[in-house]
Structure formats: C-alpha cells, structure tokens
Amino acid sequence: MAKQGKKAIYPTRIENYPEWYQQVVKAADMAENSDVRGCMVIKPWGYAIWENIQKNLDDMFKETGHVNAYFPLFIPKSFFEKEAEHVEGFAKECAVVTHSRLEHDGKGGLKPAGKLTEELIVRPTSETIIGASFSKWVNSYRDLPLLINQWANVVRWEMRTRLFLRTTEFLWQEGHTVHETKEDALEETYKMLDVYTKFAKEYLAIPAIKGEKTESEKFPGAVSTFTFETMMQDKKALQGGTSHFLGLNFAKASNIKFQNREGKEEYAWTTSWGVSTRLIGALIMAHSDDNGLVLPPKIAPLHIVIVPIHRNEEEHRKVLNFIGELTSKIKHLRYNEEKIRVKIDDRDMRGGEKLWEWIKKGVPVRLEIGPRDIESSSVFLARRDKQPNEKQSMNTDDFLNNITSILGEIHNNIFEKALNFQKENTKKIDDKEEFYKFFTPKNKKNPEIHGGFVRSHWCGSSKCEERIKEDLKVTIRCIPLDAEEEKGKCICCEKESSKRVIFSKAY
C-alpha cells in the first residue's frame, strides 16, 4: 500500500480541486499556457492523447458513413450574418480580421494596412461557410444524404481560460450533414449522439447521460440540441459534446435546396455535431487522482513502460537484453486492434524517480525488471488503477498471455469507478428547500466539493430555469432521453410537470 498521506500532486482534490487540476496537467506535461492570452500549447503527451481520441472517433465516423473534408478558417461577415440566432449567439466571442497586411509605422514598428472591404470572422463554428459549399453540392435527392466531417481548430474569444476546458483556440471535429427528410436528419442527430456516448464509454471510460438541452442552452440557430453530460470528481457536470438538429434554418440561410422525388425544389434538412479537446479535460477530471493522471488504456499514448533495474554495467547489459526480447514479443500482441504501445525508459535517473514520472503521466502498466526477475524469468508489475506500491511478480509467459486482458480490466475498473461515483452523487429531490441546501456549500468562503446531479421536476418555464441559475449557479444540464413520464411539481414554482430533468453546477 502507498504511504498514507504522501501524494504526488499538491494540492489534493479535496484541498483545492481547480488547482489540483492545473497541477495534474503540469505534472503529466500535457499542455501549458502560451504567450498568446487564452491560447494553449498542447505538448506531446497531451497531443498524443488527442491523436488517439481523433483516430478512434474518426474510425467510428467512417463506419457510420461519414467522410472528411476541409473548409476555410475565415468566414465572410455577410455569411455569418445570414442566420439571426446564430449571429446573436456567437457575436460576443468572434475574432474579426480587418486588415490584410502590415506596413512600417515610421517608428520602428508595424501597423496594419490594407483594410479589407469585407471583414472576415475566424470560425467559431462552420455552419455558414460549409453551408455555402453545400448549396453548390446539393442539387437532387440523389445527392443526399451528404455526410461530411471536418477536423479543425476554432476560435471563441474567452476572457477566463483554463487549459483544455476553456481556451480561445481549441481543436475539434464538426460534423455537418444534409438530408432529404426531417426524420432522416433527426435520426442522424440521435445516431451521432449515440456514437459519442459509445466512444465516451468504450474509449474514455466515462459514463454519459444523453439528453436534450433546454431552449436557453441550445446551440444558436438549432431547432434542438442534444448533449451528453458527464460527472467530474468535484460533482460538477461537463458537457462532453453536442449533436444539433438544425431543421431548415441553415438550409434557408445558405440556400441549400434540392429537387425532390416528385421533381419539386425544396429546402434540405441539416444537422451538425461536435466534440473538442475539452474531452481531454473531462478525461483528467473524471479519472485522475492525487498521484496524477489516470488514463484509460485505449487512448493512453503508452500502454506499458518498462524500467530497467541494475547496479552495474554488466547487470545493465543483461537486463536490457532481457527487456529487448520481451519487448519484441509484446509488440506482436494487439489490444483494441492496435499494437501494444511499449517504451523502455533507460534514462540515467533513479528508478523510483522514473516510476513516479510515469504514474503522474497515467501510463496503465509499469514494469520493473532487474537481475532477480531475469533469474526467475518474471516481471514486476504495477497498474495505474491500483495503489502505486501495490506490485506483483508475474512469470513472463503469464504476463504475455494476460497483458491484453489486464489492459481491458484496467479500462473496466476505471469505468466502473466513474459510474459508481456518478450514481452515488445523483439524487432525486422533490423539496425546494432540500434542493437549495444540496447545492449550497457549507463553507461559503472556500466552498468544499458539494452537489452532484439532481433529478427534479421542472415545469418547462425559462423563468424557473433562470431563477435557479441566479440563486445557485445551477443549470438544467439536460432533459434526459430516458426520463419517464411521471407527474410531479416544478422544484421552483410547484406548477405541474410531467418529467424530471437533470440539474447541476457545470463547467
């Protein structure tokens, strides 16, 4: 067992959760703030996680019939203005390009020159610019469905930023599809929400709740927005991603029309859906502990790290030989249809120091191999889902036979832990006073971790939603898709309600 009280990350989650988060990111060397305010530098360890997210999601998109394309970073202002709600929703966070070149200002500096006749918006999302292409690509019902995805960066000007969770520039994917009928478009919207929640469970080991956003929380310009909500270890919700049914709104704005089966021209139905590097923030906050990052194996940049243990050059040589042979065998194995990713850490450093570095980086399996292990042809194995000092000696053949199931077990353990946490911190509340108490910290100056998900009745009025948001900073995360019809009274105004919704504080 680990020594009580000695942890690698300070402060701990309980002491100061937001600061703990920053320290985990730092200790795992995932990202850092850049010189450009609000923008992050994603370092190799963080980017490798993103690449694994990207690769696996991309496979799922392709399996469901989507293909990738790329559209411009800039959107002419007039395009952006076409959908009224859309403009309204994004206007406050748009970066605008007004000039096309720089000139010497005569004082040794530079000044912008070449004023553009039409300003360009740096995309905060691409519905309008992609819509312009779609209006040309879609002519007949035979062109439908059109199923496109784009991997890109977007910019939303943020004043208060946090690595991965909220940055001015971030990476994401945005799916944009066009359909013949409303039913087809709705089916696509739900399908992609399912793809996301399946990905969250099977790759990120994060349980998700699917639901619909209320009018005030939906995507600007959408008819309806669906979301998957996840619970972080401070009991707050994090929106994992969204899938929007756009109705005819953007088709009308961008003039996406097609000739239907009767030869008549009509507007097409569109959807859009996206997840971003924010998922990495979710990953950190859902699983990591006071010793650092904990990664589900499928998206971990490395599955196994091997640390050679030796006292002299001769031992060093022998140990490296043994590890070399073992590694070539490991590389023949497959986990999640991919080669097992293994690294030998032969840096000139103390073994303990190396091992702690990999603990903080969240590598699922650590092996220590020294002369004694070679004699017994075994490895000394530790897992990131267990305590740092909980190690076991394992015969190399057993190790090779079992490593893929060990990685699978680690995934399941991490998922179960997160699921239990979510269940333990989800309550049904019918009493207003209890509701307010639940979301009010005992220590107001330095709020402790409190709250969770509450399933309560809501009458459907935005006034009640607003009231609760103002009083408690609690929002309706979603109207769960699995919510049963049930008579009850609104938690705020006591008017009749037919369904429970999920309330929570959120990122």
Nearer to Zn ion, 340 or 478 (CB): 478
Contact residues toward Zn ion (CB under 5 A) are 459, 461, 464, 490, 492-493
Nearer to Zn ion, 12 or 461 (CB): 461
Q: Comparing C-alpha atoms, which of 115, 81, 82, 78 is closest to residue 97?
A: 115
Cis peptide before 296 (omega within 30 of 0): no
Q: What minimum distance in Å lies between the beta carbon of 479 and Zn ion?
A: 14
Nearer to Zn ion, 132 or 492 (CB): 492
Q: How many other C-beta atoms can be found within 10 angstroms of the C-beta atom of residue 348?
A: 4
How do 475-480 and 378-383 pair as beta strands? unpaired
Structure tokens at 112: 């912008």
Q: What minimum distance in Å lies between the beta carbon of 475 and Zn ion?
A: 15
Nearer to Zn ion, 248 or 490 (CB): 490
Q: What minimum distance in Å lies between the beta carbon of 470 and Zn ion?
A: 14
CA angle 266, 189, 173 (to 5 degrees): 105
Q: What minimum distance in Å lies between the beta carbon of 453 and Zn ion?
A: 19
Identity at 117, one-letter amino acid code: T
Nearer to Zn ion, 407 or 459 (CB): 459
Nearer to Zn ion, 382 or 491 (CB): 491
Report how far residue 204's alpha carbon sits from residue 197's, in angstroms, rounded to the nearest whole number: 10
Q: What minimum distance in Å lies between the beta carbon of 467 and Zn ion?
A: 8
Report how far residue 287's alpha carbon sits from residue 418's, in angstroms, rounded to the nearest whole number: 7
Q: What minimum distance in Å lies between the beta carbon of 434 and Zn ion?
A: 16
Report how far residue 248's alpha carbon sits from residue 264's, in angstroms, rounded to the nearest whole number: 16
Q: What is the DSSP letter of 247?
A: T
- Please write down the HEC assignment for all residues of 278-293: HHHHHHHHHHCECCEC
Nearer to Zn ion, 254 or 456 (CB): 456
Q: What minimum distance in Å lies between the beta carbon of 435 and Zn ion?
A: 12
How do 265-267 and 257-259 pair as beta strands? antiparallel
Nearer to Zn ion, 305 or 464 (CB): 464
Nearer to Zn ion, 97 or 490 (CB): 490
Q: What minimum distance in Å lies between the beta carbon of 464 and Zn ion?
A: 3
242-260 exposure pattern, b = at least 16 Cβ within 10 A, e = fewer: bbbbbbbbbbebbebebee
Cβ neighbours for 168, distance < 8 A, ≥ 6 positions apart: 36, 37, 38, 39, 95, 155, 156, 157, 158, 161
Q: What minimum distance in Å lies between the beta carbon of 460 and Zn ion?
A: 7
Let me know: does 232 contact 207? Beta carbons within 8 Å: no
Q: Can you point out the beta strands (E) in 19-168?
A: 31-33, 40-42, 67-68, 74-76, 95-104, 110-122, 146-155
Which helix (DSSP H) or strand (DSSP E) does residue 52 occupy? helix 44-63
Report how far residue 493's alpha carbon sits from residue 52's, in angstroms, rounded to the nearest whole number: 46
Q: What minimum distance in Å lies between the beta carbon of 432 and Zn ion?
A: 10
Nearer to Zn ion, 121 or 468 (CB): 468
